[in-house]
Amino acid sequence: MNFTIRPATKADSNDMWRMIKELAIHEKKLDKVTLSYEEFEMDGFGQKPSFESFVAKVPEENKSKEGFTTVGVALYFYTYNSWKGRAVYLDVLYVMTEFRGFGIGKGLLSRVAKVAREKSCQIMELNVLGHNSQSRGFYAAHGAQDITVREGWHTQRFEEESLNKLAHNAP
């Protein structure tokens, strides 16, 4: 199947938001999406973007059952690892179900990796839910290492209440 991958623009926001919500549904975590569409659009395409992204598009003749031609998204941002240096965090890699198996996911992953290397990033990191063996297998097949198993690292998160409490107690 023919497809193209290009940097996302503000005009892609609706399709990106649709796929992010599809991913949340797929992961059974839609109730965790508290960000509004307007915040998402501003965070990605406002004065000071917080992330960069790519979209995958198919020709009109290959559009989805619902009529979509934007069928995949990768959303990433830059971070820093005090042991390795510059890094990229891949927050979202999603391809609509009916378009999986055509190389679109690998294409999106490769484009983010290419950007990472162009920006002298030493690592690319991401999180995958433990029950999502299909995605874990996909990333492993492309060279990702599960550092939870290998090194024992566990992701820790401060959310709204604990973050507010910590901030309130700052000296």
Residues annotated as catalytic (active site), given as ranges:
139
Q: Tell me how far apart the alpha carbons of residues 10 and 127 are, in angstroms, rounded to a whole number.
A: 26
Q: Which two tokens stand for residue 143?
A: 């060279």
Q: Tell me how far apart the alpha carbons of residues 61 and 35 are, in angstroms, rounded to a whole number.
A: 33
Q: Which of 151, 155, 143, 153 is nearest to 116 (CA)?
A: 143
Task: Please count the residues of the chain.
Answer: 171
3-state helix, strand and coil shares in percent for the chain, rounded to the nearest 5:
45, 20, 35
Q: Which of 82, 170, 111, 100 is nearest to 137 (CA)?
A: 100
